[in-house]
Amino acid sequence: MRKIFVSPSILSADFARLEKECKSLEKSGADWIHCDVMDGKFVPNISFGLPVLKSIRKCVVIPLDVHLMIEEPIRYVKQFAEIGANIITFHIEAAQDVKATADLIRSCGKKVGLSVKPNTPVEDLLPYKGLFDMVLIMSVEPGFGGQKFIESSVDKIRKARELFPDALIEVDGGINADTAKFVTEAGADVIVAGNAVMQAHNRKDVIENLRKL
Ligand code: DX5
Ligand code: ZN
């Protein structure tokens, strides 16, 4: 059976207790920790950046799945690689030179993720086939946690699965036990969940549930 990875997003964490939050996710069986970096320009919100990730890296050993929602991500690739990001995902809409950005991430020895916003067709990734390890399908407009899952994302996941059989397909936004079922059936390998995991009374149960196909 296909392995489903769960990557809880710490955007909905209590930032005053970040070490505790990250350790609790690791103990609860999270495969990765999803870190949403925002610049207030590519998306209308500002979250956290390099120094925070550097501290998180010291608290847990599971991979850091870094989702860059910033303009011209190439400017910061080396620094995110240096602080210990394992997967660096950027938006096709935010990069002037997608190939150069992907190549730089690879040359730093990191996995490359390429993301599309809800209104960007997944076919736009075709020219870059082979340059990335993971496709991130946004199932909400990026910028905020706790939004409602956009249902047309399921078709996009199916399409991505078909076009990029060798890449992991990650989905991010509005995922809970119900929507997780649809997206994994459509071919998603990696489930990002913010509110569903962080607000849960028992994180371990929720993570296990999300992983169930
Ligand atoms: C939104 C972020 C998501 C967000 C998901 O821009 O990329 O990772 O934290 O939060 P939920 O799961 O609550 O929709
Ligand atoms: Zn994200």
Tens of pLDDT along the chain (213 residues) come to 789 999 999 999 999 999 999 999 999 999 999 999 999 999 999 999 999 999 999 999 999 999 999 999 999 999 999 999 999 999 999 999 999 999 999 999 999 999 999 999 999 999 999 999 999 999 999 999 999 999 999 999 999 999 999 999 999 999 999 999 999 999 999 999 999 999 999 999 999 999 986
Tokens of 123: 């076919």
Q: Which atom of ligand 1 is nearest to the CA of 43?
A: 6
Q: Which pLDDT score, from 0 to 100, does residue 2 have?
A: 86
Q: Which pLDDT score, from 0 to 100, does residue 65 have?
A: 99
| Probe residue for ligand 1, chosen from 36, 45, 47 as the CB with the greatest number of ligand atoms within 8 Å | 36
Which-ligand-closest: CA of 173? 1
Question: Which residue ranges have their beta carbon within 6 Å of ligand 1?
Answer: 9, 11-12, 34, 36, 67, 140, 142-147, 172-175, 192-196
